[in-house]
Amino acid sequence: MHTPSRQDYVSISFAGQGGGSYNNSKQWRRQSCWRKWKQLSRLQRSLILFILVLLFICGIASYPTVTEHLSGLTEGEQHTDSNSVLRPIVPHVLPEPLKQARPSLPEQTSQKLSNKRGPPVLQNRLQKKGNTSDTVVEDKASDTKKEGEENGVISWHGAVIDTDKATEGTKDEQNNEDSAANQKGKPSEESGARWLEAVREAFRHAWKGYKDFSWGHDELRPLSKSYSEWFGLGLTLIDALDTMWILGLKEEFEEAKAWVATELTFNKNVDVNLFESTIRILGGLLSTYALTGDTLFLDKAKDIGSRLMPAFNTPSKIPYSDVNIGKGTAHPPRWTSDSTVAEVTSIQLEFRELTRLTKEPQYQAAVAEVMKQVHNLDGKLDGLVPMFINTNNGQFTHQGIYTLGARADSYYEYLLKQWIQGGKKENQLLEDYLQAIEGVKKNLLQKSSPNGLTFVGELSHGQFSPKMDHLVCFLPGTLALGAHNGLPADHMDLAKQLMETCYQMYVQMETGLSPEIVHFNMHQGSTRDIEVKLADRHNLLRPETVESLFYLYRFTKDQKYQRWGYEILQNFNKYTKVSSGGYTSINNVRDPDYTSPRDKMESFFLGETLKYLYLLFSDDPNLINLDQYVFNTEAHPLPIWPSTA
Ligand code: DMJ
């Protein structure tokens, strides 16, 4: 009996291929292969099988669409978030309010994207856009002048900056050109009015849920028709006060005001986060006072402001993250003595305004001290700051990581906005801002493949990561605001590019809603620009993109920004609206049939998202005139200080 050997196998193989004496029939090949297979030892067969299985697994894993689909199914089945009520989503078709819902993608990038679109489901969604309909989720400082600063002109690293330039409601020449090129598909006056009304309607719907199921509590849980408490201070109600005023919802405003007058008390034994309560509560009360002149709101602002001050009693004067507003004690989180850099540097607008109104210097002094220390610290990279700062020694910690996203974002926003608030005199703030934007350009800015979307990534110990939080989408608006106030014109160019990217973070998702975090492809040969990891597919009804759309529209009058905003509003209505009242965050923006609602309406949806949408659709430059007001990071407009000169 012939025992097959490795030698035999090799010789047969060569004979077959090189000799040409055998015919190439399929049958012969099958027999020959089988014979060869049988001639192999058990070990050889096992090895080959193992390699084949390995190759198959690698092949599957490197094909994202398949893995994402598979993982998506797994996620859906295994989802155990106790806050989410997993009920079937029943589409509920409402009449189409507008004919112009189909987005026009006039820019080159958009054109390219539409030619090279990825998954068919996305193409279907985009094709259907002209026919969108609403679906309801069923119940389921230094002031010293330097050379060249006269007449509002200062020089920074060779760039001459005309800081007196700021004319609300007018466009710079370049923007006029852009605008002329984008008149096609422009919303008519009539539809403009309807878009405004659509925001009011969305607000009323959100307010109904809040009123019916969570009145006086922090946040609505619209699916379980209940509420959640964070600080127990009526967070959503306070955050929404100035939105109601701006939207002209008088009845709703009056009932909320009555609650503030009779029910709201800060004399409570409760720990609050300094940053969150400053931007939402103190900021909300101050802006409502600024808009209405009603001293009720100023009195309440003074009360909460003074109760937050113990946070600054730390060895370094860098504030703790948490304060007990009843006991007057403060502390860092249990696990660290660090505070977040964005949190300690994004409370300045509010405390400075409190000092201006009360003539009590301690508020402004406390937050100015923080800015001074952060300005002088080592550990920055070209003006970019790390994410944490220690409350004992006042030094940056966890150094080497730089992002414009979570934990650092509003540091940059408040550099510019404090400078604007103070009448553009505090040059140190401006210089830090300008340096940081150069730092962004140098270290964090990249283009995606294949369509060359400009994005802001992250840097970790010298290693670039193409990861961008939705939170970073505040940046186009901030850059545009700076350019409007006389900062370099290339800031506006960058703002427009990033705006397009933030919009694409919505358009390229199957629901037309952005995920929390995206990753951009940078290698040539990529088939799509944006990837989303499984854990990042949620949408919390965040405002940053519509916030930037508002600024870009105000300054350019380019109506494509309004159309983009209207699309986003329609998609919020389609995928996050809960029929019994309210809107819900969702877990999965990539599956229109299984969005997996989270059962939570964040207070910033009313405080920010709907407010910015309304302002975006309004053509009245005096509805929060940007030469008179500056928005805090929670969309509460605060007065720009009158010049005392
Ligand atoms: C808001 O509380 C503020 O805009 C903050 O600066 C960032 N996070 C949320 C909105 O996304």
Quick: pLDDT tens for 418-437. 999 999 999 999 999 999 99
Residue to mutate (ligand 1; options 350, 542, 605, 612; most atoms within 8 A of CB)? 542
Q: Which atom of ligand 1 is nearest to the CA of 410?
A: 6
Residue of 218, 409, 432, 591 marked active site:
409
Residue 12 Cα to ligand 1 midpoint, Å, equals: 71
Residue to mutate (ligand 1; options 231, 275, 279; most atoms within 8 A of CB)? 279
Residue 1 Cα to ligand 1 midpoint, Å, equals: 80
Does residue 571's CB lie within 6 angstroms of at least one atom of ligand 1?
A: no
Catalytic, 431? Answer: no
Instruction: Give the pLDDT confidence score for residue 57 in this predicted structure.
Output: 65
Confidence category of residue 48, pLDDT binned at 50, 70, 90: confident
Sign of CA dihedral 353, 356, 361, 364: positive
Nearest to 512 by CA among 451, 608, 589, 602: 589
Catalytic, 593? Answer: no
Give me the residues paired with residue 586 across strands: 539, 597
Does residue 632's CB lie within 6 angstroms of at least one atom of ligand 1?
A: no
Does residue 283's CB lie within 6 angstroms of at least one atom of ligand 1?
A: no
Instruction: Give the pLDDT confidence score for residue 541 in this predicted structure.
Output: 99
Residue 59 Cα to ligand 1 midpoint, Å, equals: 40
Residue of 276, 338, 510, 547 marked active site:
276
Instruction: Please check whether residue 638 is in contact with residue 287, taking contact to mean a CB–CB distance below 8 angstroms.
Output: yes
Does residue 207's CB lie within 6 angstroms of at least one atom of ligand 1?
A: no
Catalytic, 147? Answer: no
Of 112-126, 162-176, 418-432, where does mean pLDDT reach its minimum? 112-126
Summarize pLDDT for 299-316 with one digit per residue, the tens: 999 999 999 999 999 999
Summarize pLDDT for 27-36 with one digit per residue, the tens: 444 555 556 6
Confidence category of residue 185, pLDDT binned at 50, 70, 90: low
Instruction: Give the pLDDT confidence score for residue 40 in this predicted structure.
Output: 73
Residue 10 Cα to ligand 1 midpoint, Å, equals: 68
Confidence category of residue 137, pLDDT binned at 50, 70, 90: low
Does residue 573's CB lie within 6 angstroms of at least one atom of ligand 1?
A: no
Peptide bond into 639 cis (omega under 30): no
Q: Which residues of 621-635 are buried (b: 16+ CB within 10 A; e: fewer)?
A: eeebebeebbbbbbb
Catalytic, 303? Answer: no
Give me the residues paired with residue 577 across strands: 583
Give the chain's count of helices (H) and strands (E): 24, 20
Instruction: Give the pLDDT confidence score for residue 164 in this predicted structure.
Output: 66
Give the whole-angstrom CA distance, residue 477 versus residue 504.
16
Summarize pLDDT for 586-599 with one digit per residue, the tens: 999 999 999 999 99
Q: Where are the domains of the chain?
A: 98-134+169-639
Does residue 542's CB lie within 6 angstroms of at least one atom of ligand 1?
A: yes
Does residue 543's CB lie within 6 angstroms of at least one atom of ligand 1?
A: yes
The CATH number of the structural domain formed by 98-134+169-639 is 1.50.10.10
Which residue's alpha carbon is nearest to atom 10 within ligand 1? 542
Does residue 74 carry a pLDDT above 50? no
Angle 6-14/26-39 helices, nearest 10 degrees? Answer: 160
